[in-house]
Amino acid sequence: MSGGVDSAVAAARAVEAGHEVVGVHLALSRNAGTLRTGSRGCCTIEDSMDAQRAANVLGIPYYVWDFSARFKADVVDDFIAEYSAGRTPNPCMRCNERIKFAALLEKAIALGFDAVATGHYAKIVTDDAGNRELHRASAEAKDQSYVLGVLTAEQLAHAYFPLGDTPSKTLVRAEAAERGLSVAQKPDSYDICFIPDGDTRGWLADKVGTETGDIVDRTGAVVGSHEGAHSFTVGQRRGMRLGTPAADGKPRFVLEVRPKENTVVVGPKEALAIGVIAGSRFSWAGLAPEQPETAFGCEVQIRAHADPVPAVAQLVDGELVVTPGHPLDGVAPGQTAVIYVGTRVLGQFTIDRTVSAVPVDA
């Protein structure tokens, strides 16, 4: 229970479904802030108190479990390392993979629990043979199946998403109000929970330090300078302060980040188009496809709120290779691509390699 409305209603529904429910708040920071600020919706003492008040209203026990050491190592330090390597990680996915459905789940099982229930918007569907599948939520606008795409069959076997069937968050808020939960109108959280003011670039600069480097175009010509390649992400347009205008006068975008050389490559929007994405770190959310070596139709989604794109996927020499039906914009290595078949999450992979849809001299 984060202290937000979703986990509070999820807990309420779990109680109502007849389960024996215990509220657990994860302590993820050793020096949590006192009060909520702006759009942040977790991780302060106020949030912890909100979670406890919700548990009180539901009449369930409530505990705070400290996973701060693991969260730092597996999520925060990983986030810094990925950015430093020129990749764009998704820390919420990492948290689901390593904390909520690994450290927390394992501890819970050892302590006698059957499942970890969360306020995520996603569905678990059991097929005729009893296999569990992960599906998109009924509330399309809030669907969080993307950030759960990292879950494996073993993890899904112990996961429970009571909000999956609800058509909208508005209904969840209304239900919270009806149940007398004080968090009914609490604002949604958007930012990364461990970056208090939402200033990811400033936060990274603090952690990684700044070092002046070159901004170059695709021919290698220096067109500007920057204070640290780690603060750029592929597809980014703003914040480069380029002195030399492009020959064609059009805006330029980050095409590539080369942390080893501390260099950022920029170019026209067309050059962002990616024709193929591939990665060898993948997992299946439930049953694996029977013949992944044979090309199969699917949809691919590369960000939490991106539109899915029809694609063809194939496992080639241990690498999952996905060719979208049309080129994708702004794909950054390190991002996670989640593969769907209809509403079902088939699996995910970390993008290691991309192939441009447009040759350099185009």
Partner 1 sequence: MVYLDHAATTPMLPEAIDALTAALAVVGNPSSIHSAGQQAKRLLEESRERVAATLGADGIEVVFTGNGTEAVNLAIKGLWWQRRTAAASAAEPADGSSPARRRILMPAGEHHATIDTVEWLVAHEGAEVVELPLDEVGRLRLDVLADELERGAESIALVTMLWANNEVGTIEPVEEVARLTARAGVPLHVDAIAAYGQLPIDFHGIRRATDAPRGSGLVALSVSAHKIGGPAGIGALVLDRSAAVEPLIHGGGQQRKVRSGTQDVAAAASFAAAAEIVADRLDADTARMAALRDRLIAGVADAVPEARLSGDAGAGASVRLPGNAHFSFPGCEGDSLLFLLDAAGVAVSTGSACQAGVPEPSHVLMAMGRSEADARGALRITIGHGSTDADVDAFLAALPAAHAQAARAGLAARATSFDR
- Compute the C-alpha angle 226/354/90, nearest 5°: 65
Shortest reach from residue 345's CB to partner 1, in Å = 17
Shortest reach from residue 99's CB to partner 1, in Å = 10
Residues facing residue 150 across a β-bridge: none
Residues 217/265, Cβ–Cβ less than 8 Å: yes
Shortest reach from residue 73's CB to partner 1, in Å = 8
Query: Whole-angstrom Cα distance, residue 135 to residue 125?
Result: 7
42, 43, 95, 298: the catalytic one is 95
Q: Which residues of this protein are in contact with partner 1, per CB under 8 A? A: 22, 25, 27, 30, 32, 45, 48-49, 52, 61, 63-67, 69-70, 73, 98, 101-103, 105-107, 110-112, 152, 154-155, 283
- 23 assigned ligand-binding residue: no
Rank residues 52 and 200 by Cβ distance to partner 1 and give the closer one: 52
Active site includes 95? yes
Q: Where are the beta strands (DSSP E) in 50-180?
A: 62-66, 116-117, 122-126, 132-136, 159-160
267, two tokens: 């170019």
Residues composing the chain: 362
CA 36 vs CA 33, 76, 177, 188, 336: distances in Å:
8, 20, 20, 12, 30
Residue corresponding to tokens 């999450």: 345
Shortest reach from residue 142's CB to partner 1, in Å = 26
Phi, psi of 350 (to 5 degrees): -85, 130
* 130 Rama class: left (phi>0) / alpha (psi -120 to 50) / beta: left
Shortest reach from residue 30's CB to partner 1, in Å = 7
Residues 134/149, Cβ–Cβ less than 8 Å: yes
42, 43, 92, 193: the catalytic one is 193
Rank residues 66 and 165 by Cβ distance to partner 1 and give the closer one: 66
CA dihedral 74, 76, 78, 83 (to 10 degrees): 170
Rank residues 229 and 351 by Cβ distance to partner 1 and give the closer one: 351
- 209 assigned ligand-binding residue: no
Rank residues 56 and 244 by Cβ distance to partner 1 and give the closer one: 56
Rank residues 123 and 158 by Cβ distance to partner 1 and give the closer one: 158
What secondary structure letter does DSSP report for 347? E
Catalytic positions are: 95, 193
Binding-site residues for ATP, please? 26, 119
